[in-house]
Structure 1
């Protein structure tokens, strides 16, 4: 059995966004969805994996976690003129 970073995906109320992915990234997400389905028994369309992947990425980004803990945004703030 493989140990993927994503596990079962909870059913949550989604917010719709549109993005464009490079073809190779889409192929990889499609393959990942197939492997995840074999591991968890849950079948998901590849687009449904993007949000959990991003959430996992942000949850494991130490610098981002440090900034969140400090109550700061990771993005630079604009300075008023």
Structure 2
């Protein structure tokens, strides 16, 4: 079976953010939460908690974004 990009949800200090999703994206988020719960044995009671780790994973695996961040860090002396 293929592996999901998310492997679990870690607790972290949250920042409040309001997001509007299309109904189809929300349905997919619910379905993803169900699959993740089955795969990890964790209960995902609030599928909205998946949004932050999904965004983090997306940004962490975006090579162009990572390259630009490294270039920016070098140019500002933070890298």
TM class by shorter chain equals 0.7 to 0.9
* Structure with more contact order per residue of length (Cα contacts < 8 Å, sep ≥ 6): 2
Query: Does residue 69 in structure 1 map to residue 70 in structure 2?
Result: yes
* Residue correspondences, number: 72
Q: Distance in 1 between matches of 2:5 and 2:28?
A: 14
- Structure with greater proportional helix content: 2
Q: Normalising to structure 1: TM-score of the pair?
A: 0.82
Q: Normalising to structure 2: TM-score of the pair?
A: 0.84
Q: Distance in 1 between matches of 2:14 and 2:2?
A: 28
Query: Does residue 27 in structure 1 map to residue 27 in structure 2?
Result: yes
Contact 1:2–1:39 at 8 Å: present in 2 too?
no
Structure 1: where are the runs of 5+ without partners? 73-81
RMSD of Structure 2 on Structure 1 (CA): 1.2
Counterpart position of 1:78: none
Q: Distance in 2 between matches of 1:10 and 1:66?
A: 26
Structure 2: where are the runs of 5+ without partners? 74-79
User: 4+ runs of 1 displaced by more than 6 Å?
Assistant: none
